Amino acid sequence: MENDKAQIRVFTQKTDPDRYPDGLAGSIHFAVTIDGKETVINRDYGILFATGKISEDNTIEPMKTENPAAFIMPDQTIGILAERIREDGTKDPEDAGRFLMWTTDDLIRFSGERSVSRDSIPAGCLSDRIDVDRDIVQNALNYWNPIVCSKVEVPERIPAASEADIIKADALITYSDGSTRKKNVLWDTRGVDFDRPGEYRISGRITQQKFKFPLAKGYGDPVIFPWEGKWYYISTNDNTDDIGIYVREAADVHGLFAENTEEHLILPFDPERGFEQTFWAPEFHVIGGELYILFAVSGHSWGPQCHMMRKKKTGSIIDADGWEDPVRVCRMDGSPLATDAITLDMTFVRAEKKSYVIWSYREHIMQKNDSGSMLFIASIDETEPWKLTCDPVLLSRPLYGWENVSGTINNEGPFAFQKDGMIYVTYSGGAANGYTYALGLLSARADSELTDLSAWSKSITPVLTFRSVRGEYGPGHNAFFVNEDNELMISYHAETDIHEHLRCDGIRRVHFRKDGTPYFQMAAEEDVKDTTVTATVVVGKPAEPSL
């Protein structure tokens, strides 16, 4: 191999029904070789997934790939090819004589798949292993492999006239992909005399808010929310068979999970009002300057539907009487959001031009013609957020193998945040209480019309899976909040074992790569540790000796 060349290899995995089922194993995996050393990237989880086919009855036929290959196109773009087959291994006659094809310039961003004729591919150019420019391979390795803290730097000398000058001396933290961030240092200044010029050696400590996993057992869909100087926690409560909405209150985020923290029942089982089961996925949102809880609930007959509940002007979050009666979300004409389907997991998104809600919708659940859960979006007026101001628009369906694992057929649990003019929406696919649950990512410019599908990009590859963080299986149905240190944090549920089905809560920091995109997979031990640093404080300027 030439010195400026490296290699990539593409392959699928062997199916293991208990640990890596068809929908995952039948995706395209990548390994890269630099200086003779091969490394499987993305934690040996698939990167390219075939899309399923939508049948005439609106069901999804899951697909996977086999016999992947790569080649260099005339314009030096990298092409990835594979045969498409059904998830059960049988071939679809429509795919005879054809390949699925993706293209990429950098092994990081891939085009959407397209079907091409075998005859359009030059004979003899295909292989499961090809030479690629070394820089491309190295950048892909940095992108897909775990990002970890690689260096911590503080100023060697800190000129200071007062303690305030020292406090401003931050640490610069560098990560393995080349990304950086600044972090406050807790400096010990007790030995510094600001009335006496000289140099003083001091130490400090860099801290990062960390949370153990699991934080709370038997809770799904956790949401952390600050309001008027206090912190609140709300979730689906599996310990009560998902009946009732409970809220915790504390002075800080850690206090929400302290032993014996009280849970306040704010929406109880109430047959008279039609609230009997599936009290699912409650979320706090400030809409039009007022505090709402968005959630799903069923009456006596099973069938969750999206509702909103507004806090009274002088009401308390933790008091059931502090909330107005919930109202069901409706369409423009006032009719129900759905009559013959379930709706759930509604979230609120404020963009630059309009406000929107996104929710999950599913027809014929667990029946032969089950549509799978789909994400829909519509605009709202914040003065009446429970009423759509446009027709619902289909945003995403679970067509990829990781979204549609062993019949789970899920797109659910959307939640959004904004950064640098972009809106990012995470959502969940796979088994909601199993190890295959994973997070996907949708993104759009914040100044876009979000009901225009062309504004959105959907990641082919999930951004958080059971292989992302050791000891956390099936991470999903997340939310975001900004913590006391002004850092974006992600809350989510997962299981403690690959065969466990008890949902438990976790929290970690969201990192941002060198290119500015979010990275959700940084384990606590990969982020900055509580690190002791030292520096020299220079107080004043010693007088020159007189002659």
- Please give the distance of CA 355 from its chain centroid, rounded to a whole number: 21
Give, in degrees to the nearest 5, the angle at Cα 482 between 207 and 260. Answer: 75
With respect to residue 331, please indicate whether it lies within any of the assigned structural domains: yes
Are 189 and 232 found together in one domain?
A: no
Q: How many domains does the chain have?
A: 3
**DSSP 8-state assignment for residue 210:** -
Are 201 and 293 found together in one domain?
A: no
Give, in degrees to the nearest 5, the angle at Cα 307 between 305 and 310. Answer: 170
With respect to residue 547, please indicate whether it lies within any of the assigned structural domains: no
With respect to residue 21, please indicate whether it lies within any of the assigned structural domains: yes
Residue finishing a domain among 144, 165, 193: 144
Q: What's the pTM value of the predicted model, to 2 decimals?
A: 0.96
pLDDT of residue 3: 61
Structure tokens at 266: 């704010």
Are 19 and 115 found together in one domain?
A: yes
Are 414 and 464 found together in one domain?
A: yes
Q: Choose among 248, 253, 243, 251: nearest CA to 263.
A: 248
Q: Choose among 103, 128, 130, 123: nearest CA to 114.
A: 103
Q: In which domain, by residue range, is 177 found? A: 149-208+531-539
pLDDT of residue 4: 74
Structure tokens at 17: 């029904």
Are 370 and 504 found together in one domain?
A: yes
Are 268 and 296 found together in one domain?
A: yes
**DSSP 8-state assignment for residue 16:** B
pLDDT of residue 2: 52
Are 512 and 369 found together in one domain?
A: yes
Q: At 333, which amino acid appears? A: D
Instruction: List per-block mean pLDDT (blocks of 10 residues) for the chain, which spans 547 residues.
Output: 80 96 97 95 98 96 96 93 94 94 97 93 85 95 95 96 96 96 96 96 94 97 98 98 98 96 98 97 98 98 97 97 98 96 98 97 94 98 98 98 93 98 98 95 98 98 98 98 96 97 98 97 91 94 51
The span from the CA of 11 to the CA of 27, in Å, is 8
Are 100 and 153 found together in one domain?
A: no
Are 184 and 280 found together in one domain?
A: no
pLDDT of residue 122: 79
